[in-house]
Structure 1
Amino acid sequence: MTINGDGIDNPYGKVFNQTYPGRVILSESTSRTSFAITVLQSTGMASDKMAPLLQMTLSHMSFALYNGLAGPITIFGPSSENCDEARDPILITDWGHRSAFQEWERELTGNPIRPQMNSILINVIIDHILVGIGQRYHVVRHADPKNETKFPASENGNYWIRTVPAEGCKGSEDGNELDERQGFLRYEPEEKNKPQLGNNFSWWAFGEQPLWLNFSEPTIMLLDEKKEWPGDYVIIPAENRDRWVYLVITAPKTNELGNNRTFISLAHPLHLHGHDFALLAQGNDSSQIDDPDNSVVLKFDNPPRRDVALIPAGGYLIVAFKADNPGSWLFHCHIAWHASSGLALQIMEREEDLRKTMTLEKLQQVNDGCKKWNEWFADTENLWSQNATLFQDDSGV
């Protein structure tokens, strides 16, 4: 479906019910919410276990989310709790006039070209806040009439709302650089085949193995097979029942060349499915992790709770979650092209308990979905290009 987000048609949109963003879903924290869904993730609800307030529904099939398949969810907290009154949600995103799949192709082969955006749809800015892809914030703004800046107050009460992209990770087309001025503030009401990788491909990865999932063999359908997990699935076991699992992630301070891949020193918003987590430590120098003279101090006293946290370029991130939700949970970078290039892994939490919960009835639902997928996948007319020889060239997430 064509989306016109900034005055120019993007014919590659994918949307919910013919609208972008998808219609807001309102629910009470004590209510049971049912969806008729296809390959979607309700970020913050069942799969992410976040507390009530603002969440998001999105598609997690390759780049569908970044082509428009997303919408907000507001969950009203119980009246017995001290919850702020919920306001209408605002979706914040950068914006391109091409399909995200086309941007992926440009970044993948030959001389990789970073995805280039045509505009930014960010509607608010405050003193400052770091927001990575997939993160959600509630902001209470007190409009006190103060002017503490070096600029004189506006005589007519109109101010520019500016968006300043971070140096080193912004991308725009030559001759189409983004304008910082993004709005006004007015005080007056006026597949099965595995990709065959050649030397011209670079992949992102945690460690040495980029993630790649076979759509026809989802992880949950391999639980009863007595064999090792496929290496491409990047399965990390977590068997400590109802105890804490700690994740320590470090990033190199300089660009590194590995086997058929490049790691560029950038910040990455990292997102965990199935849980929120305690943010214990975050820093800019990954060497501090192994430095006995400058050891990292973990925050155990009321640490921030997140389901997305930013690992700084060349830095470290330490998070923890309680293993109380058996499942195969994705942990991935929320930059679309990084996740699709393999910067993801799966945490297999309490595999035996997960196997027990997968009753025949539940497995039948999965089998029905797989059957429909295989029928669609077998039709070559569904390929992006009729000349394509490969269906899935990204990680699948």
Structure 2
Amino acid sequence: MGLFSLCNGLLGSITPEQQNLKSLWGTLLLPTLPMWLMGQGGSHGVTPWGDRTAEGTNAYTDYPTTGVTRHYEFNITRDLISPDGYQKSVLLVNGQFPGPLVEANWGDYIEVKVNNHITGDEEGTSMHWHGFLQQETPWMDGTPGVSQCPIAPGKSFTYKLHATLYGTSWYHAHYSGQYAGGLLGPTVIYGPNHVDYDTDLGPIMVSDWWHKDYHSVVEEIMAPGFRGQTISDNNLIQGKMIFNCSMVEKDDKTPCHNHAGIAKFRFQKGKTHRLRFVNTGSQGTERVSIDGHTMTVIANDFTPIIPYDTKVVILGTGQRVDVVVKADAGKHNSVFWLRATLSPCSVAKQHFAQAAIFYDDADENELPNSKAWPDEDPNTCANEELYLTQPLYPMKVPEPSYTQEMDIGVIINKTDHFLWIFDGASPRVDYNHPTLLTAKEGDLTSFGSDTGIYDYGTNSSIRINIWNPLIAPHPMHAHGVEMYILSQGPGKWDGSTITNANNPLRRDVHMVQGGGHLVVQIDTWNTGLWAFHCHIAWHAAQGFFTQIVFNSHKLTELDIPDSIYQTCREWDDWTLTAVVDQIDSGI
């Protein structure tokens, strides 16, 4: 069924309380973004990062320190909202879905106080700052059971981050499948630009969406006898879309209405606009396009790239793609569709989401009648060809000091549970005993081979050849690093072919297609213990992750603050009387 037939009042909206509470995402009230934050390190004509440029600066070694700290406070609560017209229980940041923007200049520090006010069924939480390298502060990564204990109900924890990379990213809960229940939001770090544009429209979040609450989905996938994939109900842009309520099961009495409204954006005729696409979904690979407009890709994840033109951008879960678009396809009163479509390899009841882009004088109540670009989706969920994506600042991949083969697989355990295995392991974290804190005490020997912990010792650069013999694709995400992406494609790697060996793409998430391979390389200069996992929330819950240790001989020297230990003491106290319903891997 097409979008036109879902309802008559398509561009109308229900009340903010019913749909997204306090959120302005996807409304024309949302302000555009500046080139950088003024004051506290930024002023007219003088950038906060000095003379550093995108093409001439190694951001991993020559990042600025502005001396500025940006302060935020997150109140995590539970509430009922209807992002697509179907009411469900969600977890919210400051009453918003998606959560509020966290923004800073390159080189700033960011402090976020997270208050766990989840009521009803109380649960822990944590916040992961996706793509932040956390140099010298691996305990701020926000992965419970790995870098910290969860934040106990009624308690708080303050994260302090150094924005050493710049561009577009997001934050999300990393406690079980919580982020699939709404606990997420965007991040923008302002830095040097290598392509001119007039207006920054900011983050545009695309995501698949389940009508069950996240814990019910986890219960579904972790039930004995479960096989295969869980199916999403809808697809969203900026937390908005319309659901065809006729698809609701007859015995489901949940309130549902067909007039939820869609996201809206404004283009200025003849001007160039920056759009920051983020896949904040739980499972699906998104294909994003704008009718009648060519997009120029300028960044993948936190890596500025040599610009290239395309009609469609591909985003696996957790990936970001920044583009610039010139509003040259219509008249001053034109209206166009922005489309986000789940690739067929992503199982969903409703695959498409659409938003309206209004030129200057267009009627905000007018429906677009634009035509989609032809899109021959190969149904592989693979990212774009690697030859297209070369970083602006070139870095040659070094010779690896160690090469590892890591195969993806599944098992059915003795209790008939379906689990993912990565290099033979399907781990489960211990919330009360994070591995980083155990490693800090000098005890890595107590971890068995089934825990998926890899101590790379003093190796300087690790090449990992991932082989995926199964049909399902996987967005592979490494914490604490940006990976060199050396090879992707169907079948096993031939052991020799590297795309752009003198300047391979660098990013923190990349797809491995079904029946295919992905070869990445990771420099190990960032001392710590980091999660490496599939970013499909349900696959991670079913054990698809490992923990990689860099420079383990230095872990005992880490100056971990008492706030980390205090969070563990508070979690220990809470779990003395509360039952933690950890039925999955925990991450």
Q: TM-score range by the shorter chain?
A: 0.7 to 0.9
1:216 to 2:432 alignment: yes
RMSD of aligned C-alpha atoms? 2.7
Which amino acid is the alignment partner of residue 484 of structure 2? A
Q: Which residue of 1 is the match for residue 419 of structure 2?
A: 203
1:182 aligns with 2:339: no
How far the C-alpha of 1:232 sits from its partner, in A, is: 4.1
State the match for 2:537 in structure 1: 336
1: CA distance, partners of 2:445 / 2:483: 31
Q: 35-44 or 89-98: which moved more?
A: 35-44
Could you say which residue in structure 1 is the equivalent of 2:484? 278
Equivalent residue for 1:21? 98
1:118 match: 233
Please tell me the residue identity of whatever aligns with 1:229. Answer: F
Q: In structure 2, do the counterparts of structure 1 residues 119 and 222 end up closer, same or farther at CA, with 3 Å as the change threshold?
A: same
Q: Which of 132, 141, 144 does residue 45 from structure 1 map onto?
A: 132
Residue from 327, 345, 362 that aligns with 1:168: 345
Change over 3 Å in CA distance of 1:157–1:363 after alignment to 2: closer
Bigger proportion of residues as helix: 1
> What is the match of residue 522 of structure 2?
321
The answer to whether the aligner puts 1:304 opposite 2:471 as a matched pair is no
Give the Å deviation of 1:284.
1.3
From the superposition, tell whether residues 344 and 368 of structure 1 become closer, same or farther in structure 2 (CA, over 3 Å).
same
- The change in CA–CA distance for 1:267 and 1:159 in structure 2 (over 3 A counts) is same
Take 1:63 and 1:217, find their aligned partners in 2: how far apart are those partners? 20
Which residue is equivalent to 1:250? 467
> What amino acid does structure 2 have at the position aligned with 1:318?
V
- Equivalent pair of 1:28/1:78 in contact (CA under 8 Å): no
**Aligned length, in residue pairs:** 350
Q: Which has the higher strand share?
A: 2
> What amino acid is aligned across from residue 7 of structure 1 in structure 2?
G
Q: Residues 160 and 181 of structure 1 are in contact (CA less than 8 Å); yes or no, is this contact kept in structure 2?
A: no
Distance 1:162 1:82, change over 3 A: closer
Q: Distance in 2 between matches of 1:157 and 1:244?
A: 52
- Equivalent pair of 1:273/1:331 in contact (CA under 8 Å): yes
Partner amino acid, structure 1, of 2:80: T
- For residue 372 of structure 1, what is the aligned residue in structure 2? 570
Match of 1:22, SS?
coil
| Shift in alpha-carbon separation, 1:363–1:230, aligned structure 2, 3 A | farther
2:321 to 130, 137, 140: 137
**Could you say what secondary structure the match of 2:218 adopts?**
helix
Letter in 2 for 1:141: V
The aligned counterpart of 1:348 is 549
SS of the residue 1:91 aligns to: strand
CA contact (8 A) 1:14 1:64 kept: yes
CA deviation vs aligned residue, 1:65-106 (integer Å, no higher than 9, x gap): 111111111111158x76866432122111122112211221
- Hey, what does 2:86 align to over in structure 1? 8
* Residue aligned with 2:323, SS: coil
Aligned to 1:255: none
What is the distance in 2 between the residues matched to 1:139 and 1:203? 37
Greater mean alpha carbon deviation, residues 115-124 or residues 2-11: 115-124
Query: Residues 290-301 of structure 1 correspond to what in structure 2 (within 5 A)?
Result: 295-301=496-502
Residues 73, 163 of structure 1: CA spacing in aligned structure 2 closer, same or farther, 3 A cutoff? Answer: closer
1:92 aligns with 2:232: no
Q: Deviations over 1:317-357 (max 9, x none)?
A: 11112111111111100000001101110111111112212
Name the amino acid aligned to 1:230: G
Answer whether contact 2:176 2:585 (CA < 8 A) is retained.
yes
Gap runs ≥5 in structure 2? 1-78, 115-124, 135-140, 142-162, 238-262, 264-287, 291-310, 364-411
CA distance in 2, matches of 1:336, 1:50: 27
Residues 21 and 130 of structure 1: CA distance in aligned 2, closer, same or farther (over 3 Å): same
Contact residue 50 and residue 275 of structure 1 kept, 8 A: no
Picking from 228, 232, 242, the partner of 2:446 is 228
Rounded to whole Å, the distance in 2 between the matches of 1:60 and 1:215 is 12
TM-score relative to the length of structure 2:
0.55
Residues 356 and 317 from structure 1, CA distance in 2 versus in 1: closer, same or farther, beyond 3 angstroms? same
- SS of aligned partner of 1:289: coil
Q: Is the 8 A contact 1:340 1:396 kept in 2?
A: yes
Q: Tell me how far 1:169 sits from its aligned partner.
A: 2.5
Contact 1:213 1:232 (8 Å CA) reproduced: no
Distance 1:185 1:337 in 2: 33
**Matches of 1:248 and 1:86 in 2, distance apart?**
38
* Structure 1 residues 342 and 179: alpha-carbon distance in aligned structure 2, compared to 1, 3 A threshold: closer
One-letter identity of the residue aligned with 1:249: I
Give the Cα–Cα distance (whole angstroms) in 1 for the partners of residues 109 and 340 of structure 2.
38
Tell me: CA distance 1:247–1:145, structure 2 relative to 1, closer, same or farther (3 Å): same
2:110 maps to which residue?
33
Task: Tell me if the contact between 2:92 and 2:182 (Cα under 8 Å) persists in the aligned partners.
Answer: yes
Summarize the Cα distance change of 1:6–1:201 in structure 2 as closer, same or farther, 3 Å threshold.
same
SS in 2 for 1:329: strand
Task: Determine the C-alpha separation between the residues in 1 that align with 2:542 and 2:195.
Answer: 42
Find the aligned partners of 2:508 and 2:108 in 1 and give their Cα distance: 22
Q: Is the 8 A contact 1:50 1:307 kept in 2?
A: no
1:193 aligned residue: none
Alpha-carbon distance between aligned partners in 1 of 2:471 and 2:512, rounded to the nearest angstrom: 11
The structure-2 alpha-carbon separation of the partners of 1:202 and 1:282, relative to structure 1 and needing over 3 Å to count, comes to same
Q: Distance in 2 between matches of 1:343 and 1:305?
A: 22
Contact 1:135/1:308 (CA < 8 Å) preserved in 2? yes
Cα deviation, residue 235, structure 1: 0.7
Shift of 1:43: 1.1
Distance in structure 2 (CA, Å) of the matches to 1:96 and 1:298? 37
Which residue is equivalent to 2:75? none
Distance in 2, matches of 1:300 and 1:42, equals 29
Equivalent AA in structure 2 for residue 189 of structure 1 = A
Query: Per the alignment, do residues 120 and 238 of structure 1 end up closer, same or farther by CA in structure 2, a change over 3 Å counting?
Result: same
Identity across aligned pairs (percent)? 26
Deviation at 1:113, TM superposition (A): 6.2
